[in-house]
Amino acid sequence: MNDYTVVHEKAPAFFDRFARKDENQHQTHYCPGCGHGVVHKMIADALTELGVQQRTILVSPVGCSVFAYYYFDTGNVQAAHGRAPAVATALKRSNPESIVISYQGDGDLAAIGTAEIVHAANRGENITVFFVNNSIYGMTGGQMAPTTLLGQISTTTPWGRRPNNDGMPIKMCEMLSALEAPAYIERVALSDAKHILQARKAVKKALELQTQHAGFSMVEILSPCPTILKMEPTVARHWVGEVLAKQFPLGVYRDHRAEFVPVDVPQKPLAELLGLGGEKLSDAERQSRRKNTQARTIKVAGFGGQGVLLLGQLLAEMGMREHMEVSWLPSYGPEMRSGSAHCHVTLAHERIGAPVITRPEVLIAMNEPSLRKFGPMVQVGGMILYNGRELPEDLQFEGTTVHCIPASQIADEIGAAKVANVVMLGAMLEATNCLPLATARTVLADMVKNPKLSEMNDRALDVGREYLDQDVLALAVAGPDGCGE
């Protein structure tokens, strides 16, 4: 028989002995009169009462409660300063049936971690946040917190917090309750027995809501820090109620479940998502199936919106289907959004080295600036296909075959300006014979599901090819330099 009567049992969610501590394993590291011990007890009791201790994960922050994991016999994760809500987000998403607690102080939550708490709340993450606000940095020895009161002296506000220099104490409950997603936000205080009882209820409610998948909940707990505030514990408690709570009014700021209409994502088998299937060919098999193809380095250039990158992709896709080695390299970035665009396409029979083409064999210039910029870089003996009726008067390219195809105009006549690139493709295939025209038709048919557009693409290919034939005839008459008339 014990010679004492147990009045309050240790909460089972606490370890019997704090073995993770270096010494004094029978007591916490918190100072006498500190609020953390009280909040820990409330949480531990609530976990037991709700029967969720075994599936709880506590995220310890940086600050005085950095060692919360010394005490809680739960799953424990230690997070970087301010990042606990982000860590908690992924813990919860990974195991939706777990109970995830983000335990944070005022510096952690309301200064360095402001972005994380706002966005976890705004996503309505189904986690519970306990925010211990004692108006001061405890662990680092008494520097200003975002919640330090005006005029309050700290080691970094030696004249007291000055609004003109340090801004105003930040009110997190008020801020977060402006969001639509949170389910429950309340501010309580550890100022006296009555308020501590209210705090207990709030702590339990916030956790219970999580078991009901209600969404984001946060309890801000105004808490005494007698050591740093240099007050007797009873005075500090009194100060919390009389002074701190004046700046941070107690009460329920939010208490309704977020009314999301969930949007489900269709599920697909992995093979379908990844585009797997079809036969795998060895290099030798590919080589033997490669017919009617010629290696080429090609540059396609023009205005953004002329389908320049797509034309390059069409060529690469065709080359791949014809069992060639191919690469497609775009210009990318802001220039994509307006201005010019170009891409490099290599069609090869061997493994491709540099996919960057400095001197292309073929240039498809969809506009005059591209012709001027890249025309001179075309290899001797190469070819330029220019989107225009004739070359600008001041331009000529020695040693290069030039074909002028008014592709934009032809495309307009066909009925869609956007098929100009396909007109050029038809002409290019006819001029180079590097890939079969039939493959172009198949690839286009696979990529374009709209029957009307598909028909126009087919016509564009034919017209481009026919125009080129006429151009070649004219060239034969006019000689190799410049465009035929």
Among 143-151, 154-162, 321-329, 462-470, which window interacts with other proteins (CB under 8 A)? Answer: 321-329
Which of positions 348-367 make contact with other proteins (CB under 8 A)?
A: 352-356, 358-359
Task: State the minimum distance, in angstroms, from the CB of residue 118 to other proteins.
Answer: 8
Site mask for other proteins (CB under 8 A), range 243-272, x = bound = ----------------------xxxx-xx-
Contacts of 368 (CB under 8 A, 6+ apart): 388, 392
Shortest approach of other proteins to residue 467 CB, angstroms? 28
Q: Which tokens belong to 259?
A: 């009314």
Number of residues in contact with other proteins under rule CB under 8 A? 72
Task: List helix spans (H) across 52-143.
Answer: 84-94, 106-107, 114-122
Using the rule CB under 8 A, which residue among 1, 7, 261, 274 binds other proteins? 274
Cβ-Cβ contacts under 8 Å for 428 (sequence gap 6 or more): 298, 362, 364, 385, 464
CB distance 359 to 377 below 8 Å: yes
Which string of DSSP letters, residue by residue, matches 158-180? Answer: TT-B-HHHH-----HHHHHTTSS
Residue 280 binds to other proteins (criterion: CB under 8 A): yes
Per the structure block, which two tokens stand in for 435? 């890939």
At 87, list the tokens: 């860590």
Locate 337 and state its tokens. Answer: 């959004």
Is the separation of the CB atoms in 471 and 404 below 8 Å? yes
Q: Is the Cβ of residue 6 or residue 271 nearer to other proteins in the bound state?
A: 271
Q: Does 275 bind other proteins (CB under 8 A)?
A: yes
Residue 384, H or E segment:
strand 383-386
Binding range to other proteins, per CB under 8 A, among 164-172, 201-209, 289-297, 318-326: 318-326
- The residue range among 156-164, 175-183, 317-325, 427-435 that interacts with other proteins, by the rule CB under 8 A, is 317-325
Q: How far is the CB of 282 from other proteins (least distance, A)?
A: 11
Which is closer to other proteins, CB of 89 or CB of 104? 89
Q: Which of 27, 54, 212, 234 binds other proteins (CB under 8 A)?
A: 54
Q: Which residues lie closer than 8 Å to 68 by C-beta, 6 or more apart?
A: 40, 58, 60, 61, 76, 103
Contacts 24+ apart (CB under 8 A), 168-175: 169/135, 169/247, 169/248, 170/110, 170/146, 171/248, 172/109, 172/110, 172/117, 172/131, 172/133, 172/218, 172/220, 173/218, 173/220, 173/248, 173/253, 174/253, 175/118
Task: Examine residue 26 and tell whether it contacts other proteins (CB under 8 A).
Answer: no
User: 151-180 mask for other proteins (x: CB under 8 A)?
Assistant: ------------------------------
Q: What is the DSSP letter of 240?
A: I
Of residues 380-419, those binding other proteins (CB under 8 A): none
- Residue choice 34, 39, 43, 74 for contact with other proteins (CB under 8 A): 74
332 contributes a contact to other proteins by CB under 8 A: yes
Whose Cβ is closer to other proteins: residue 213's or residue 452's? Answer: 213
For other proteins, the binding residue among 11, 46, 86, 463 (CB under 8 A) is 86
Coil, strand or helix: which one is 185?
A: strand
Q: How far is the CB of 170 from other proteins (least distance, A)?
A: 18
The single residue among 175, 235, 295, 320 that binds other proteins, judged by CB under 8 A, is 320
In the region spanning residues 114 to 133, those forming contacts with other proteins, defined by CB under 8 A, are: 115-116, 118-119, 123
Q: Which amino acid is at 24?
A: N
Question: Of the two residues 190 and 440, which places its CB atom closer to other proteins in the complex?
Answer: 440
Ramachandran angles phi, psi of 306, nearest 5°: -90, 5
The verdict on 7 binding other proteins (CB under 8 A) reads no
Angle between helices 420-432 and 437-447 (to 10 degrees): 160
The identity of residue 479, as a single letter, is G
Residue 334 lies near other proteins (rule: CB under 8 A):
yes
Judged by CB under 8 A, does residue 20 bind other proteins? yes
CB of 139 to other proteins, least distance (A): 12
- For 106-262, list the strands marked E by DSSP: 128-133, 184-189, 217-222, 251-255
Q: Report how far residue 214's alpha carbon sits from residue 206's, in angstroms, rounded to the nearest whole number.
A: 9
Q: At 151, which amino acid appears?
A: G
Among 79, 109, 225, 429, which residue sits at the site for other proteins (rule: CB under 8 A)? 79
Segment interacting with other proteins (CB under 8 A) among 95-103, 151-159, 175-183, 462-470: 95-103
From the list 113-121, 128-136, 225-233, 394-402, the region that binds other proteins by CB under 8 A is: 113-121
Residue number with CB closer to other proteins (152 or 313): 313
Contact 343, 312 (CB under 8 A): yes
Among positions 38, 43, 46, 87, the unique one binding other proteins when judged by CB under 8 A: 87
Specify the stretch interacting with other proteins by CB under 8 A; choose among 140-148, 191-199, 314-322, 364-372.
Answer: 314-322
